[in-house]
Structure 1
Amino acid sequence: MAFITACLHVVSPAGLFLSAPYSESLFSLLSFTGSFLYLWSGRELEAGNIFQSNTAALASAIIFGLSCMVRSNGLLNGIFFLHDFILQIYGVITGANGKSNTLFSRLFRIGILGAGGLIIALGLVLPQAIAWKDYCTAGSNRPWCSNTFPSIYFYVQDYYWDVGMFRYWTLPNVPLFLLAAPMLTLMIVSGVWGIGIKNTAGTQSIDFDKTLLRKLAFPQLLLAVMAIVTYHVQIITRISSGYMVWYWWVAYQMSAGRAAEEVKGKDWTKFVVRYMVLYGIIQSVLFAGFLPPA
């Protein structure tokens, strides 16, 4: 399954964006590395290795912070830290699982998670602060400098790209929604599967970490929804490359899931792979002509 997942990333619908010196490949690297360190942190915590766990958590936050500098949707990875931060506070207040760790270690863990969340947020805020310093000092009259949140990023997205809630919902953009529909379907269905709202038959054949799967699935699902209501929807075909649950879901259906009697005959996975390969070819022609999925 791991090998199939890696192969699916190679033929990802991001296509040329992963082959060229563009932000998608770097974001995927940072997103996957940060997720690995986050997983490692959780495993070390379960084993009682507090120092190693907290070190891995901070390293994960730094990597996620760097991913925010590459793509703003890297901020969604902060949900991991927010989830555990709230859970740890709840545990301290209620005394849940208090016997496994001392109060000091739990409070220290809360501090680590809080610091990690701030580091991730800094990855988005720092470039904006640098831009503000460069463009909004010495009496600049740029319109975004006087905003409540003077962000050059949000101004460019709003003014030049016309990005905003439901702004993309126009009749001429219907073909672009159709272009994004296969990838949106994969991300939403696999996200629901990962969160556990809908359990896929045969999951007992692979030992999934259910808690981790839910944490990883929620940002992916949230990104898909944001793409539908806010973004230029066609970009989902390339920014999806930095999220792993949909890869896992397709790989699962192609490997262990295929062997299970209750999911036998799901040959639709071959159409998913064909779509990914063909879209990569079509995308290169469209993008060379300055057409979507840019």
Structure 2
Amino acid sequence: MYGPREKVFWFAVTSRLVVISLQFIFNRILPDHDAHIFNSPLDPEMKTSIYDSTVEYLFGGFLRWDAQYFIHIAKYGYTYEKTLAFYPLYPMSIRCLSVVLRVVFFSLNDHSIAILAALLINFICFVKSATVFYDLSKIVLKDTALAYKAAILYCINPASIFFSAFYSEAMFAWLSFNIMLAYVNNNPYIYLPIGLSILVRSNGLINLGYPVYSFVRCLIRTVLPKVSRNYQNSQAEPIFPFGCHTMLGSFLWLLNVVFLSIVPYILHQLYNYSLYCTYHEVTIPDYVLNYSDEDVLLIPGTVIPPWCKNSIPVAYSYIQAKYWNVGFMRYWMFQHLPNILLGFPSLYLILCQSFKYLSEHRIQLYTLGSFSTDVRNCKKSKNKKLSPDIFVFVVHGICLVLICLGFVHLEVSTRLLCSASPLLYWCCASKLSYKSERRNENAMNAMDFEYPENLNSKWRVFFLSQTTHSKNDIIILSYYLAYTGIGCGMFSNNLPWT
């Protein structure tokens, strides 16, 4: 018999095996679309054995779109200017693990080793992120059954293909949920996952909002102790965060966290500057140096690019604008309407539920969520299942949505939100009709989160056993499962997907 955390673990494993199987099937039965995108050059002298062909045959569907960039960086480094749009922790992890796997799989070439390393990293990161997300949800929502449902939905999230393909989503989600868990647990080492998340994706910088919010909440609690009628309910909570005993200590702690969090980011930018903003000789294989692409590929140490002359020489926004036309409101054009509609559901769900939460929990809004609210006093809330104490996660989700609406290609918003915000899963889980059965009249049994017949199965979960589904169930599960299935087919054949 499995407990809720064990069920989440095994369902996460099962979901990854299903996604791997789906990409294999679709990659075999559908023809690849010629999308005219970047393909990392291969060594023409590289030997290809039957084992290498097998690796490509089984997992080649994951090596599409931006996955080509990550594998290229893992193998060769930042050999072209446009590769600077991809942050280093994930590809460097692939490179490091490849060194270990090369000892075990000595019959494989470097390309196949990199594929296996990327697959293994994403598999582990996803399973770890699912269990960490369950731990986070259980603490924040204060409801084991709801936390379990949310974690199960995460395992079949609409961007599932990107959590197994050679993208950084799985690693970023694992780090993001660890940051949130460190925040709710007052962990003073929160700067570790924040600093690492910034090295995985650019939106990792937003995670600095958690320690900043902790200090702001501390300030409000200290200066305005009677601002909320429910203040007495939060007296048991520490006023000062992360073991601090004074306001000055909290401020110094915040400065320390921010500094330690951004040091890796600064070092990465210094590396980019030294690589592309100075003239020097670089050792690059000829087949990489002579690779032709639809874009003019700038090699480091040859020409000084314009971003080097900026007062703050950061390449990211310049490269996004130059190679992918990313900029404020640039994507809002009629010809992009299909892609906009593709990313619309996740944006709508988070934005709609966030504003509904803020309208129903005015005290949390007026006090910036600084005081815990007794759930018993929230009788007017239409969504009683969600804890009122999710204010910071709501603000975080709104910030991500606004960034998506203003600056990114909107089809990307689904995977960006699925890997960075828990709101999509919490809100959807709260609307599912499945309710755990109370089999003990006096207390909630530890196993009441799931149907009894599913407790001994590693893969069967509540929505697979329900005989009747509500309208909300059909809409939510259709969205999650359809995007998972269609995404596997589209992505694995180089067709445009979210």
Same fold per superposition (TM over 0.5): yes
Deviation at residue 36 of structure 1 after TM alignment: 0.5
Among 212, 218, 226, which residue is 2:395 paired with?
Answer: 218
**Counterpart check, 1:8 vs 2:212:** no
Matched residues in 2 for 1:290 and 1:233: separation?
18
Which residue matches 2:278?
A: 137
Q: SS at 2:185's partner residue?
A: helix
CA contact (8 A) 2:215 2:254 kept: yes
Deviation at residue 89 of structure 1 after TM alignment: 4.4
Among 222, 235, 238, which residue is 2:415 paired with?
Answer: 238
Which residue matches 1:44?
A: none
Report the TM-score, using the length of structure 2 for normalisation.
0.49
Which residue matches 1:69?
A: 199
Relative to its length, the structure with more helix (as a share) is 1
Matched residues in 2 for 1:207 and 1:286: separation?
34
Matched residues in 2 for 1:170 and 1:144: separation?
27
Which residue matches 2:135?
A: none
Matched residues in 2 for 1:115 and 1:74: separation?
18
Which residue matches 2:355?
A: 192
Matched residues in 2 for 1:224 and 1:107: separation?
34
Q: Deviations over 1:75-132 (max 9, x none)?
A: 111112222223434566x4758x9679953321221122223333345433222211
CA contact (8 A) 1:8 1:247 kept: yes
Which residue matches 1:148?
A: 311
Deviation at residue 179 of structure 1 after TM alignment: 0.7
Deviation at residue 141 of structure 1 after TM alignment: 1.9
Structure 1: 4+ residue segments shifted above 6 A: 99-103, 256-259
Bigger shift: 223-232 or 248-257?
A: 248-257
Any residues of structure 2 matched to 1:1-294 within 5 Å, and which? Answer: 1-41=146-186, 56-57=187-188, 59-89=189-219, 94=223, 96=225, 105-138=246-279, 141-194=304-357, 196-198=358-360, 201-204=381-384, 206=385, 208=387, 210-211=388-389, 213-242=390-419, 243-254=421-432, 267-293=471-497
Matched residues in 2 for 1:176 and 1:190: separation?
22
Structure 1: gaps of 5 or more residues:
42-55, 260-264
Distance 1:118 1:76, change over 3 A: same
Q: Deviations over 1:254-285 (max 9, x none)?
A: 268999xxxxx962233111111111121122
Distance 1:158 1:236, change over 3 A: same
Matched residues in 1 for 2:470 and 2:310: separation?
52
Q: SS at 1:283's partner residue?
A: helix
The amino acid that maps onto 1:249 is: C
Structure 2: gaps of 5 or more residues:
1-145, 227-237, 281-302, 362-379, 438-468
Matched residues in 2 for 1:100 and 1:173: separation?
48
Deviation at residue 168 of structure 1 after TM alignment: 0.5
Deviation at residue 151 of structure 1 after TM alignment: 1.0
Matched residues in 1 for 2:152 and 2:248: separation?
42
Distance 1:251 1:165, change over 3 A: same
**What is the root-mean-square deviation of aligned Cα atoms in Å?**
3.0
Distance 1:90 1:126, change over 3 A: farther
Q: SS at 2:199's partner residue?
A: helix
Q: SS at 1:128's partner residue?
A: helix
Distance 1:95 1:144, change over 3 A: same
CA contact (8 A) 1:88 1:110 kept: no
Q: Share of identical aligned residues, percent?
A: 26
Distance 1:201 1:89, change over 3 A: closer
Greater radius of gyration (CA): 2
Distance 1:120 1:287, change over 3 A: same
Q: Deviations over 1:14-59 (max 9, x none)?
A: 1211122320000110000111111000xxxxxxxxxxxxxx13x2
Matched residues in 1 for 2:352 and 2:224: separation?
36
Distance 1:115 1:190, change over 3 A: farther
